[in-house]
A and B are shown apart, each in its own frame.
Chain A
Amino acid sequence: MTTRTAAPPALEVRNVTVRFAGLVALDDVSFTVAPGTVHAVIGPNGAGKSTCFNVLSGLYRPTAGTVRLGDAELTRLAPHRIAALGVARTFQNIVTTQGTVADNLMLGRHALSRAGFAASALRLPRAVREQREHLAKAREIAELTGLGAHFDAPVALLSYGDRKRVELARALCLEPRVLLLDEPVAGMNAAERTRMTEVVREIRAELGLSVVLVEHDMGLVMRLADEVTVLDFGKAIAHGTPDQVRRDPEVLRAYLGSGTTGEDAA
């Protein structure tokens, strides 16, 4: 099994621009996620946060600009190659696959295991052994994220909050160096939010990975983030610590001026 080095390299986003058929979704955005920190990307709806994540995980190829993780230029790589480098993500709308929690978490182990079609079909000893080892690891991660009791339950039967957690656990199964969380607490109730915040804090402390966080819940952002980048209409309008950003007049205008999401800034 591969083990990742403790300190992840910095994730550098440089002058990234994404255009869809005339629409500019990201406009010359740059920021750096320092190793081992939590970096939040916030902004009103449609500001380009999800587009930004899709660029980071290789689903979109930017029109211009680069994303680098250490020596690797992510913007040249296909999503599965980026995953192999230790970049894992969750989705704001839950995207789990059929089967049990275990099946989903084992998908997270895909990049770290190697049993191919022939080895699995013939159930070669090394494939069986590998499967057993990864299953043990997946179970550990399920315990860590509070899913231990549901390990063999079909995902479709879980509550919304638990399914969100399955996504997080699946991403963790990749043993990521950089974890991208897209609205991890959206749609959760207060208790579930508190619990999720705890989990994120814990994994970051224990695993020493960098976290990039897109979230509307400002309370969560203020509590977790070391640094914040604010996007508005595809442009990065502010950077800084949560406190600095909160006082930034530009940011206030973006939130309050847009009207619809005013309560988010509160």
Chain B
Amino acid sequence: MTGFLDNLLNGLALGSVYALIALGFVTIFKASGVLSFTHGSLLLLGGYLVAVLHDDIGFAGALAVAVLVTAAVAGALDRLVLQRVGGTDPHAAHVQTIVTIGIDIVLVTDLARRIGGDLLPLGDPWGNSVSDLGPVTVADSRIAAILVSAMAIGGAFALFRFTPWGLSLRAAAEDGEAAALMGVRLTRVRTVAWCLAGGLAALAAVFLVAFPAPGLERTTGQIALKAFPAAILGGMASPVGALVGSMLIGLTEAFVAGYQSELHVLGEGFGDVAPYAVMVLVLLVRPAGLFAAKGAARV
């Protein structure tokens, strides 16, 4: 029973961190139709900034700087590079998606070179302390992950719902052309979306490398890709779907890892790749994702 609760909490913590990343994917997708493959490097950038800054300005300061800088970098990439690609080509969003891969190669190469073979500690206040919650013992970092993610996600949803930007975002996602005619400045809407996604990715980095993970390493960025299955499960354009998808992915990973010994046919470390197995299974049944709205193709 405690095993089950352990896994449940682990899964929720993992899921809430994936949700931070997946929400970023979905926001960018809604605003511009682009799938961001740059997320791995944005996440790595956020983590790296916290790692190098926390000694001098403290963890909280480092985190704040990391979130802001990563948001700014993401916004700048969109404004200075992506928006200039593709022009009036109807497939512009697809071309821009491939450009995000190119950007990712450059950024990840550079960050990986700086990190080298090291494991960088982020100096987070939770360290390796644990708390007792009734029958189970939980790492404080996990509790923090759930709480902080919940707040950040709540904040993001408030932005979607209550700000002019959120309204513009929804209008742009419905019909970009019509929104533009109504005076929505699409370029700004999508740049803000990228900023938000960048900030969320930096925040996620902190919890991905917190205890019991050993620290930031050059491959940490690849974890961001697991938010893709989450976003796909949720139908790519739905923030709520992304949230649910993330939880499903987090729980799957935690339970598969937790019951590793019973699932040994699948091989050691299957938990790490289980999200992708889930994604394939879901796509087999529902190619457009679990929560995708059914719409007829307009001609």
Contacts and interface: CB of A to CB of B under 8 A. Distances in A.
A92 B299 CA distance: 9
A12 B297 CA distance: 24
Interface string A38-71: 0000000000001000100001100000000000
Contact of A91 (B295, B297, B299): B299
A181 to B, nearest CB: 15
Contacts of B297: 59
B265 interface: no
Chief secondary structure at chain A's binding surface: loop
Contacts of A20: 295-296
A59 B297 CA distance: 8
A20 B298 CA distance: 11
A21 B174 CA distance: 14
Contacts of B295: 20-21
Interface string A9-51: 0000000000011000000000000000000000000000010
Contacts of A21: 295
Contacts of A54: 299
A91 B298 CA distance: 12
Interface in B253-299: 295-297, 299
Chief secondary structure at chain B's binding surface: loop
Q: Which of B295, B297, B299 has the most CB of A within 10 A?
A: B299
Contacts of A91: 299
A21 B298 CA distance: 13
B89 to A, nearest CB: 12
Nearest to B297: A59
B299 A50 contact: yes
B103 to A, nearest CB: 27
B295 to A, nearest CB: 8
Nearest to A21: B295
Nearest to B293: A21
A250 to B, nearest CB: 28
A50 B297 CA distance: 13
A23 B299 CA distance: 17
Interface in B98-147: none
Nearest to A50: B299
A80 B295 CA distance: 20
B88 to A, nearest CB: 13
Nearest to A92: B299
Interface string A108-138: 0000000000000000000000000000000
A54 B297 CA distance: 10
Nearest to A54: B299
A54 B298 CA distance: 9
Contacts of B296: 20, 59-60
Interface of B: 295-297, 299
Given A21-B295, A59-B297, A91-B299, 7 more contacts: A20-B295, A20-B296, A50-B299, A54-B299, A59-B296, A59-B299, A60-B296
10 contacts: A20-B295, A20-B296, A21-B295, A50-B299, A54-B299, A59-B296, A59-B297, A59-B299, A60-B296, A91-B299
The 7 closest A-B CB pairs, nearest first, are A60-B296, A54-B299, A59-B299, A20-B296, A91-B299, A50-B299, A59-B297
